[in-house]
Amino acid sequence: MSNANAARRLGAQDLEAFGAELDALHTRTMAQVGQVDADYIRKVVAWVRWTGLGGRALLMLGAIAGAFVPWVLFAAWPAGVLLLALAKILENMEVGHNVMHGQYDFMGDPQLDGRRYEWDIVATADNWRHSHNFRHHTYTNVRGMDDDIGYGLLRLFPEQRWRPFYLLQPLIAPVFALYFQWGVAIQELKLGRWFAGKMPKGKLVRDFAPVGRKMGRQLLKDYVLFPALAGPFFLPVLLGNLVANGIRNVWTYVVIFCGHFTADVEVFPKDCLRHETRGHWYLRQLRGSSNIAGGRLMHLLTGNLSHQIEHHFFPDVPAHRYGAMAVEVRDICARYGQPYNTGSLFKQFGEVMWRILRHAFPSRPRRAPAPVVGAPQEA
């Protein structure tokens, strides 16, 4: 039985109470935010700085020393790649993504200001703030509104119209994972509209200008400047940067896809937004998200997006608090008869891969489950 069919139908009063309990949890948690959270994020920023420096140093020194003592290269190069990949993962997931949600704006630190932060990825922070913070979090899994559904490249729900192109998606998906940062970078450009003749070339050129500049800076840093510091031994450093970026890309892809494309996650029609109450909004976030079970290291490496449900409920709360909040969120969902979608990384990503394979082929939209919420209330 799917989560949607297992969910209890909520009447108007229960729905209002469900939303009120979650709002109260948010209020209590935000009242506790302060020095502990500031100390935490500064510690993670320091980890990013030192792991990145250590990774780049090992790549460079290993390349130089390895020219004279080959075993040094074979020992130092993998360690350097892993440290650099770790730095990039932490910077993107636990720092960049969460800072740009404004989780640490209370600190008044210009380096951690969500409106000005720029992250270590080819995508611009301004585009991400619009496509992710606004569109994705406002219209989560709403067809025609949330561009994250398949990223325009994959068919992941039967409600998406099938085209022969999707037969290739079992092959496209691994390539997309390897180059994931580039997919994020061009998402806001709406290339599909341009190819369909619905966007003037001039608008595309204007929209691409900041993206192109950011891409150029990232390419220059990772594939020219740092390798050049190794002089004639630049090639191992260049390859190390390439592999570290690839590891970061694949990990980010896995985490994000496990958060929204497991077996029981649903998509919604646009008319669900009409007269949507706070309780309805929380239910849509719940039914459009899924968590990954794990320990402290898993949560850190995912930027606490392993608590995707809590993140979609409370995107402005410092993410390291989601684990504690999840205990109460799960209890609230159980008391109101709403399934809480969680599972191991292996289980959740297995379901994602099945979606990619299954919906590469024609399929009819699934029968809509019995409604689990009361009729929308008039505003």
pLDDT for the residue 275: 87
Say whether pLDDT at 374 is over 60.
no
Q: What is the DSSP letter of 34?
A: S
142 in helix, strand or coil? strand
Residues 6+ apart with CB under 8 A from 349: 254, 257, 258
Q: In whole angstroms, what is the distance from residue 166 CA to residue 159 CA?
A: 14
Q: How many residues belong to the chain?
A: 379
Tens of pLDDT, residue by residue over 219-235, are 999 999 999 998 888 99
Q: In whole angstroms, what is the distance from residue 332 CA to residue 14 CA?
A: 12
- What average pLDDT score do residues 346-372 get? 81
pTM over 0.75: yes
Tens of pLDDT, residue by residue over 268-282, are 988 889 889 999 999
In this structure, the number of other CB atoms found within 10 A of the CB of residue 71 comes to: 9
226: nearest Cα among 212, 215, 239, 214: 239
Say whether pLDDT at 160 is over 70.
yes
Give phi and psi for 326, each to the nearest 5: -60, -30
Q: In whole angstroms, what is the distance from residue 211 CA to residue 89 CA?
A: 21
Tens of pLDDT, residue by residue over 161-203, are 899 999 999 999 999 999 999 999 998 888 777 777 778 888 8
The position carrying tokens 């004279």 is 68
Q: Judge whether 48 and 90 are in contact, CB under 8 Å.
A: yes
Say whether pLDDT at 376 is over 90.
no
Tens of pLDDT, residue by residue over 86-110, are 999 999 999 999 999 999 999 999 9
Q: What is 57-121 written as a DSSP string?
A: HHHHHHHHHHTTSHHHHHHHHHHHHHHHHHHHHHIIIIIIIHHHTTTTGGG--GGG-TTT---SS
206: nearest Cα among 194, 219, 189: 189
Q: In whole angstroms, what is the distance from residue 106 CA to residue 169 CA?
A: 43
pLDDT for the residue 369: 46
Say whether pLDDT at 265 is over 70.
yes
- Between the alpha carbon of residue 350 and those of residues 5, 266, 320, 344, 355, the distances in Å are 22, 17, 26, 10, 9
Q: In whole angstroms, what is the distance from residue 284 CA to residue 276 CA?
A: 10
Say whether pLDDT at 371 is over 50.
no
Task: Kindly state the tokens that stand for 101.
Answer: 């949600």
Q: In whole angstroms, what is the distance from residue 187 CA to residue 249 CA?
A: 15
255: nearest Cα among 311, 215, 339, 328: 311
Percent of the chain with pLDDT over 70: 94
373 in helix, strand or coil? strand
Task: Kindly state the tokens that stand for 228.
Answer: 């050049």
Say whether pLDDT at 262 is over 60.
yes
pLDDT for the residue 370: 42
Q: In whole angstroms, what is the distance from residue 131 CA to residue 125 CA?
A: 10
> For all residues of the chain together, what is the average pLDDT?
91
User: Domains of the chain: which residue ranges?
Assistant: 3-358
pLDDT for the residue 2: 53
- What average pLDDT score do residues 36-64 get? 95
Give phi and psi for 374, each to the nearest 5: -70, 170
pLDDT for the residue 5: 54
Task: Kindly state the tokens that stand for 336.
Answer: 């109101």
pLDDT: which is higher, 12 or 254: 254
